[in-house]
Amino acid sequence: MSTERTEINALGEFGLIDHLTQNNETRNASTILSVGDDAAVLDHFGKQIVVTSDMLVEGIHFDLMYTPLKHLGYKSVIVNLSDVYAMNATPTQITLNIAFSNRFSLEAMDEFYEGVYAACERYGVDLVGGDTTSSQKGFVISITAIGEVNQDKFVKRSTAKKGDLLCVSGFLGGAFLGLTILEREKRIFAETGAQPDLENQAYIVGRLLKPEARKDIVEFFAEKEIMPTSMIDVSDGLSSEALHICKQSNLGCVIYEDKIPIHEDARQFAYTLELDPTACALSGGEDYELLFTLSQTDYDKIVLNEQISVIGYMTEAEEGTHILTRGGNKHKLVAQGWNHMNHSQQ
Amino acid sequence: MSTERTEINALGEFGLIDHLTQNNETRNASTILSVGDDAAVLDHFGKQIVVTSDMLVEGIHFDLMYTPLKHLGYKSVIVNLSDVYAMNATPTQITLNIAFSNRFSLEAMDEFYEGVYAACERYGVDLVGGDTTSSQKGFVISITAIGEVNQDKFVKRSTAKKGDLLCVSGFLGGAFLGLTILEREKRIFAETGAQPDLENQAYIVGRLLKPEARKDIVEFFAEKEIMPTSMIDVSDGLSSEALHICKQSNLGCVIYEDKIPIHEDARQFAYTLELDPTACALSGGEDYELLFTLSQTDYDKIVLNEQISVIGYMTEAEEGTHILTRGGNKHKLVAQGWNHMNHSQQ
């Protein structure tokens, strides 16, 4: 963090918004009017638009002890864009509301916004409005993302069909392991004052602190003319998300343990901690990969994409929701992961 | 508040969302897909859409000591709809994010949502998504409102012209006086245990706790084919909003003190407290009226509408921003009111 410190109230609320949005650029033709009025104006020329909104709360969703504010700004945008991609849509605008106590300086806010703008730039999204306010305690971030999708090309959670392939992008479980190591090092620091030892853990720490949204997968679908039959982003762990698709599509599923994609670095670190890598993928969250179902006839279109793994298939609801282990055992899928609400109330 | 108490964690996050949205209705044809997926899907058939977002924080924007949760839910929606109307647009959807500590029960959340739904119903708006999460302390509400407007009929703050009439809807200053009496009664209660004496103050207390957005004014504009040359909603006091229009339009203005509309009940209560009613209108906020400028040629179209007051006119920027008092004095307009950020940091 920068060593300068400017008190926010030296600027006032409007001065702060002016300051934080002075380098804000407009990238989308659909952004007719951006920050600086009562509302932004968008024109989607007959395309359908998607809207999603998420809130991140200090002490619940992030710990500023080991989360750089720039990364937090970046991630706050990513978690919302991920929901837009999970609709098979392209994000175009966001609004950003933040509440923060007076322990935050202007320099701290600048770092946070730097991350927000970096994500906006990378994903071609416009920041079109929002609100900054004070809080009595802590930092609260609320983002709404808007995206567009061609007429009736959006993909819901509820439209998977029996026999469809269950697929996931990238690798799972890494973010949970990143959280585990950061929490461990925080504890050690509190007890002994020892500096964090994160050597060789860049992959898993990066998965937690600087996730990406799977723009590439949605672009791949468009290029190959693939319409997933259902889709959801993996924010609460594979089990929880697979169960959402099953419940909302009124189906069951089978997942093969040996097909679940886990990065080698994540697997090694899990073994070091005597954790089961599969459990990390099933119940750890915040991977922001896409979980989707495909008609079997689309298999040829995805087989060469190394970013996509087929991990199972959809069944009748009566057959239940199961994972088949390497050892040949069949377990019921349980959503036990990453429920921020339960987590915080434990 | 209801006397029952169900702990939120008896439901879990998804159970809570299901519970809170079970009676959610869809009112707009543009709402293609609502709560229950990664994002909502909207289709605006070539109309332009407006987006606005606001955050309300316990202890900063509201005090639960004297704010019933149902009113708070209602008002949280209203403050966002007011921004949509201030663009000359019609609100169609909202997303709602809330964070709250475990001191809130399910019954408390139900009351809050009752107010949210009441506002949605009254204004014909669909709740299409959002997030519920826990907070370490207090209650934080973040709402994004989306509205639609005919091609290029949106009204900005920056397009007032010299000589335009400066107009405002309804009455000003009431909400500030409502806050003043509630804060007074809270203090008395803390000191003496005396029950609040709000007799005869229904008007000003209602202005604070249950404001309305000026849907009727925007509908009147459409009916009479009036296009305001600029518009803003009055959330921070008349001075602050008039200065926004002046600054963004690069103009000055003159406001006549005797033209500022102040309700008789508000005026009487101000006198009781030895407050200047004009100062309450200029610097008190949260009235959620519309402040707008009109071409002089439109004067005939509004003169018979008792909900609209002409309070001044726009001048060259060089002439400054002034108020002409009843006594014939000329004062510079100062934005000193209702800045939540300054307020909380005093």
Closest CA relative to residue A52, chosen from A32, A33, A79:
A79
pLDDT in tens, A268-310: 999 999 999 999 999 999 999 999 999 999 999 999 999 999 9
List chain A residues with CB under 8 Å of B156.
33, 37
- Confidence at B341, pLDDT banded by 50, 70, 90: very low
- Asked if residue B3 belongs to a domain, the reply is no
What's A107's domain CATH number?
A: 3.30.1330.10
Whether residue B338 sits in one domain with residue B195: yes
Q: What percent of chain B has pLDDT over 90?
A: 68
Whether residue B13 sits in one domain with residue B91: yes
What's B178's domain CATH number?
A: 3.90.650.10
pLDDT in tens, B281-327: 999 999 999 999 999 999 999 999 999 999 999 999 999 999 999 99
- Best mutation target, B7, B47, B63, B144, to test chain A (most A CBs within 10 A): B144
- Amino acid in position B307: Q
Whether residue A108 sits in one domain with residue A41: yes
Q: Does the beta carbon of B248 lie under 8 angstroms from any beta carbon of chain A?
A: yes
Question: In Å, how far are A91, B30, B217 from B306, measured between CA atoms?
Answer: 44, 34, 11
Q: Among the ranges A17-26, B11-20, B182-191, which has the highest mean pLDDT value?
A: B182-191
- Asked if residue B2 belongs to a domain, the reply is no
- Asked if residue A15 belongs to a domain, the reply is yes
Inter-chain touch B8–A341, beta carbons under 8 Å:
yes
pLDDT in tens, B271-282: 999 999 999 999
Whether residue A178 sits in one domain with residue A126: no
B271 C-beta neighbours (distance < 10 Å), count: 11
Inter-chain touch A341–B12, beta carbons under 8 Å:
yes
pLDDT of residue B3: 63
pLDDT of residue A342: 35
Whether residue B121 sits in one domain with residue B71: yes
Whether residue A182 sits in one domain with residue A102: no
- Asked if residue A156 belongs to a domain, the reply is no
* Minimum-distance CB partner of A55 among B37, B87, B142: B142
Which residues numbered 59-88 in B keep a CB inside 8 Å of some CB on A?
59-61, 83-84, 86-87
Whether residue B325 sits in one domain with residue B201: yes
- Asked if residue A80 belongs to a domain, the reply is yes
Whether residue B79 sits in one domain with residue B47: yes
- Asked if residue B160 belongs to a domain, the reply is no
Reported ipTM: the value is: 0.88
Which residues numbered 127-146 in A keep a CB inside 8 Å of some CB on B?
128-138, 140, 142, 144-146
Per-residue pLDDT of chain A (346 residues; tens, 9 = 90+): 446 787 877 777 667 777 877 777 777 877 877 777 777 777 777 788 899 999 999 999 999 999 999 999 999 999 999 999 999 999 999 999 999 988 888 888 889 999 999 999 999 998 888 888 889 889 999 999 999 998 889 999 999 999 999 999 999 999 999 999 999 999 998 899 888 777 778 999 999 999 999 999 999 999 999 999 999 999 999 999 999 999 999 999 999 999 999 999 999 999 999 999 999 999 999 999 999 999 999 999 999 999 999 999 999 999 999 999 999 999 999 887 544 333 332 2
- Give every CB contact of residue A237 below 8 A, 6+ residues apart in sequence: A176, A281, A282, A283, A284, A285, A335, A337, A338
- Confidence at B344, pLDDT banded by 50, 70, 90: very low
Inter-chain touch B9–A345, beta carbons under 8 Å:
yes
The whole model's pTM is what?
0.90
pLDDT of residue A13: 66
pLDDT in tens, B147-186: 999 888 899 999 999 999 999 999 999 999 999 999 999 9
Q: How many domains does chain A have?
A: 2
Inter-chain touch A144–B144, beta carbons under 8 Å:
yes
Whether residue A252 sits in one domain with residue A176: yes
- Asked if residue A1 belongs to a domain, the reply is no
pLDDT in tens, B131-151: 888 898 899 999 999 999 988
Q: Is the pLDDT of residue B345 over 70?
A: no
When the pLDDT of each residue in chain B is averaged and rounded to a whole number, the result is: 89
pLDDT of residue B44: 76
Three-state SS sequence of chain B: CCCCCCCHHHCHHHHHHHHHCCCCCCCCCCEEECCCCCCEEEECCCCEEEEEEEEEEECCCECCCCCCHHHHHHHHHHHHHHHHHCCCCEEEEEEEEEEECCCCCHHHHHHHHHHHHHHHHHHCCEEEEEEEEECCCCEEEEEEEEEEECCCCCCCCCCCCCCCEEEEECCCCHHHHHHHHHHHHHHHHHHHCCCCCCCCCHHHHHHHHCCCCCHHHHHHHHHCCCCCCEEEEECCCHHHHHHHHHHHHCEEEEEEHHHCCCCHHHHHHHHHCCCCHHHHHHHCCCCCEEEEEECHHHHHHHCCCCCEEEEEEEEEHHHCEEEECCCCCEEECCCCCCCHHHHHHC
Whether residue B306 sits in one domain with residue B170: yes
Domain membership of residue B238 as a residue range: 165-345
Query: Which of residues B123, B149, B175 is at a domain's end?
Result: B149
Whether residue B273 sits in one domain with residue B302: yes
- Asked if residue A335 belongs to a domain, the reply is yes
Whether residue B197 sits in one domain with residue B118: no
Contact A313, A292 (CB under 8 A): no
pLDDT in tens, B56-97: 999 999 999 999 999 999 999 999 999 999 999 999 999 999
